[in-house]
Amino acid sequence: QIALPDFFFGAMENWGLVTYRESNLLYDPVTSSNRNKETTATIIAHELAHMWFGNLVTLRWWNEVWLNEGFASYVSYLGADHAEPAWNVKDLIVLDDVHRVFAVDALTSSHPLSSKEDSVILPGQISEQFDTISYSKGAAVLRMLSDFLSEPVFVQGLSTYLKQFSYSNTVGSDLWHHLQL
């Protein structure tokens, strides 16, 4: 993991290397807030989650970018919660993502998590997929699925999904199939 002083993106994962905007990793125990520490932990967890959801298993096409970003967003809460259980970060998904996406999803500009492949072709259409719906709604849906199925069943489904599609491409229906096994 490397911090870069003038990195354009907040962070970027690659095989075996995660780069961060330096300011996203700065934490001073004397002057920084607890929220700053929590944000740093969730950014790190988000990027590390991409090692599995995005790198190990990659979406087939950009119309299902939520498979990468929704998972990374959801797992960022789990990772930070595991690192600091007293913070109850796992519960913050409701405030940070679920409520946010309720407002965005009610707009006429909203879109489904997955769309037809041929509706996302141009570079601008691909960039538009990286939005609140893909990140926050994706995370919210995954949290709901985990709660509905139970965490052990959800984790087992993810395990078989990751094993089958390691070093390969996937679509949303592949995930649903593995969660129903």
Cα separation values, 88 from 41, 47, 69, 75, 79, Å: 13, 20, 22, 14, 11
For the CA atoms of 180, 148, 169, 53, the dihedral, rounded to the nearest 10 degrees, stands at: -150
Burial of 33 (0-12, 13-18, 19+ CB in 10 A): exposed
Q: Which of 47, 64, 84, 117 is catalytic?
A: 47
* Residue 50 counted as an annotated binding residue: yes
Q: Do residues 164 and 52 touch, judged by C-beta distance below 8 A?
A: no
Nearest to 45 by CA among 9, 22, 72, 10: 72
Cα dihedral 111, 71, 26, 82 sign: positive
Residue type for 103, please? A
Nearest to 48 by CA among 19, 13, 81, 4: 13
Alpha-carbon distance 10 to 21, whole Å?
5
Q: Is 47 an active-site residue?
A: yes
- Where is the binding site, in residues? 46, 50, 69
Residues identified as active-site: 47
- Where is the binding site for Zn(2+), in residues? 46, 50, 69
